[in-house]
Amino acid sequence: MTNFQRVAIIGCPGSGKTTLSNQLGQLLNRPVVHLDKVLWAPNWQMIPYAQRKQIHDQLIAGDSWLIDGMWRSHLADRLQRATLVIFLDYKRSVCMRRATLRHLQNLHKQRPDIAQGCIEKHDRDFSNYIKTFNKKVRPFIIAQLAQTQAQVVVLTNPRKASKYIQQLINASCN
């Protein structure tokens, strides 16, 4: 039995964390917290670490939450409180293609899952982060997942994510 009390959705940019979390939030009738919306300041300015940590700690202190986003600096704390972790462990090419498409669809726009005053961008640093994610960040994620008591669901492509949601929908209808 899956415990959806405290859900963390993690993965590379472009993997579909926001899409999956919105679908799951709708299914569970629960608000979704997008970390990129609450941990950035306008114009993509980094909020100081202590302030970010305080915001993040308040979010994960709750009895029930659905949070999407990576924020490696806060991942260990989130995974310690989570009851379910969904890791979108996709190929780099999938994430790059999806992030590029998202950028083109939202060019010069404010997305609802991003902090106020942060206009859609896809610069060299962002591309490099996606390109090196599986080599640099994925090992850290795997190590953190090995330490969590939460149930872990690893989805390796968008088709499996869609199938996972469909299974949850089917289960809720029965």
In a domain, 91, yes or no: yes
| DSSP annotation of 109 | -
Per-residue model confidence as pLDDT tens digits over 142-172:
999 999 999 999 999 999 999 999 999 998 8
CATH code, domain carrying 76 = 3.40.50.300
Number of domains in the chain: 1
In a domain, 94, yes or no: yes
Plot region of 109 (φ>0 → left; ψ -120 to 50 → alpha; else → beta): beta
Angle at 77 between CA 46 and CA 71, to 5 degrees: 30
The burial of 129, by beta-carbon neighbours within 10 Å (0-12 exposed, 13-18 middle, 19 or more buried), is given as: middle
Rounded to an integer, what distance in angstroms lies between the CA atom of residue 75 and that of residue 164? 23
Overall average pLDDT of the 107-120 stretch = 92
Q: Is pLDDT above 70 for 112?
A: yes
In a domain, 146, yes or no: yes
In a domain, 103, yes or no: yes
Rounded to an integer, what distance in angstroms lies between the CA atom of residue 53 and that of residue 74? 7
* pTM of the model as a whole: 0.96
In a domain, 52, yes or no: yes
Overall average pLDDT of the 66-73 stretch = 96
Full residue range of the structural domain in which residue 77 is found: 6-173
Q: Is pLDDT above 80 for 173?
A: no
The pLDDT value given to residue 132: 97
In a domain, 119, yes or no: yes
In a domain, 1, yes or no: no
The pLDDT value given to residue 83: 98
The pLDDT value given to residue 165: 96
